[in-house]
Amino acid sequence: MASGAASGGSANTDTYEEARSWLLLPAWVTLVALSLIPVLLMLVYSFLTKEFRGGVIWEFSLAAYDQFFFDRGLFGDDPATLEWTYITIFWRSIWQAGAATLLSLLIGFPTAYFIATRPETSRPIWVFLVTIPYWVNLLIRTVSMKFLLRDQGPLNDLLIGLGLIDSPLHMVNTNFAVQLGLFYSYLPFMVLPIYAAVERYNFALSEAAADLYASKWTTLRRVLLPSVKPGVIAGCILVFVPSLGAFLAPDLLGGAKNFMIGSLIEEQFKGNAGNWPFGAAASMILLTMVLIILMIFARQQARAEREV
């Protein structure tokens, strides 16, 4: 992870060295108390016994993880077989997040490239245009998407009006709606790192390739893409990771059939399931997955930096 050292070095000084502990103390206290300790407590709770209707009994138990991975029949005394319900939900989440990432890449890459090749003065305006929707309330954006996609919604009206379809397309409560919702939620995260990478790219390399009779698409694939790969990977991670644990898009646009991890976890605490240790265990599994992805990514970025 970049620690953000200034290139000149003159900004990183030791002027306030003796006050350092006092300057950092409020951040340490707040984040240890409200971020670090809660995550560690969640780990503890995932190994406790559930209290009916929420909460826990302070008794060690592996029941939460057992319920996640194994099926022991209705009365719990059958031989354990693999439980597919929750693995399927996780798998569906990975698949949906992957599809949303691919969609974001297919639209985000050309957009980022187009913006990065505008004249220097107009680039900030384009970046601003792409980022504004991100700062609009996520709930409102998701609700707006649902409003647009409804069976009697404006999109269907438009398509019927244009004579493209005869009867409304059913889009809400489909996998596609969820993917579109996730795409809509996190698209700027794809565009910004790719934009930054293309902006730094030396177009003399493309010119050299063109001089050697490479076609434009060959140049894109064999010269540009390898150079901006770190930006592309960063964009994919920044879309994939929040999509994996998303709650609003699957809940509002997906309906019951398209249940994802976020809804599974939410149901344990806010819904009818009321099984806190199980919710904590599912959260731990999600967090572990995310941290592994981030670690692989950090290692790759570090290697890429060494190679340059």
Partner 1 sequence: MPSNSFDIKSYRGFQAITILCLIILYAPLIVVMIYSFNASKSITVWEGLSLRWYADVFTGPESGKFKLAAWNSFLIATIAATVATTIATLAATGMIRAGKFRLRNLSYGLISLPLMVPEIVTAVATLIFFNAIAFERGLMTILLAHIAFCIPFAYLPISARMQGIEDSYEQAALDLYATKRQAFTKILMPLMMPGIISGFLLAFIVSLDDFIITNFVKGAGVETLPTAIFGAVKQGIKPNIMAISTMLLGVSVVMVTISYFISKKDQKS
Query: What angle, 0 to 180 degrees and rounded to 10, lies between the N-to-C axes of helices 225-244 and 175-200?
Result: 140
- Does 272 contact partner 1 by CB under 8 A? no
CA distance 125 to 117: 13
Taking the complex as a whole, how short is the minimal distance between the CB of residue 69 and partner 1, in angstroms? 19
Taking the complex as a whole, how short is the minimal distance between the CB of residue 37 and partner 1, in angstroms? 6
CA distance 283 to 142: 23
251: DSSP letter: I
Structure tokens at 224: 């540009």
- Does 266 contact partner 1 by CB under 8 A? yes
Pick from 65, 94, 102, 144 the residue near partner 1 by CB under 8 A: 144
Q: How many CA atoms are closer than 13 Å to the CA of 206, on its beta-carbon side?
A: 16
**CB 177 within 8 Å of CB 254:** yes
Taking the complex as a whole, how short is the minimal distance between the CB of residue 78 and partner 1, in angstroms? 30
Pick from 141, 267, 274, 301 the residue near partner 1 by CB under 8 A: 141
Taking the complex as a whole, how short is the minimal distance between the CB of residue 40 and partner 1, in angstroms? 8
For residues 3-62, which are near partner 1 according to CB under 8 A?
A: 3-4, 6, 8, 10-17, 19-24, 26-28, 30-32, 34-39, 41-42, 45, 55
For residues 168-197, which are near partner 1 according to CB under 8 A?
A: 183-184, 187
* Nearer to partner 1 (CB atom), residue 83 or residue 266: 266
Taking the complex as a whole, how short is the minimal distance between the CB of residue 13 and partner 1, in angstroms? 4
Structure tokens at 98: 């992957």
* Nearer to partner 1 (CB atom), residue 239 or residue 280: 280
Count of residues touching partner 1 (by CB under 8 A): 100
- Does 147 contact partner 1 by CB under 8 A? yes
Instruction: Give the three-class secondary structure for 157.
Output: helix
Output the DSSP codes for 60-123: E--HHHHHHHEE--TTS-SPPEE-HHHHHHHHHHHHHHHHHHHHHHHHHHHHHHHHHTS-TTTH
For residues 208-237, which are near partner 1 according to CB under 8 A?
A: 210, 216, 219-220
How far from chain centre, in Å, is Cα 124?
Answer: 25
Pick from 53, 128, 167, 202 the residue near partner 1 by CB under 8 A: 128
For residues 74-103, which are near partner 1 according to CB under 8 A?
A: none
* Nearer to partner 1 (CB atom), residue 81 or residue 288: 288
Output the DSSP codes for 175-242: HHHHHHHHHHHHHHHHHHHHHHHHHHS-THHHHHHHHTT--HHHHIIIIIHHHHHHHHHHHHHHHHHH
* Nearer to partner 1 (CB atom), residue 80 or residue 136: 136
* Nearer to partner 1 (CB atom), residue 41 or residue 80: 41
Please give the backbone phi and psi of residue 81, each rounded to the nearest 5 degrees, phi first. Answer: -120, 165
For residues 276-295, which are near partner 1 according to CB under 8 A?
A: 276, 279-280, 283, 286-287, 290-291, 294
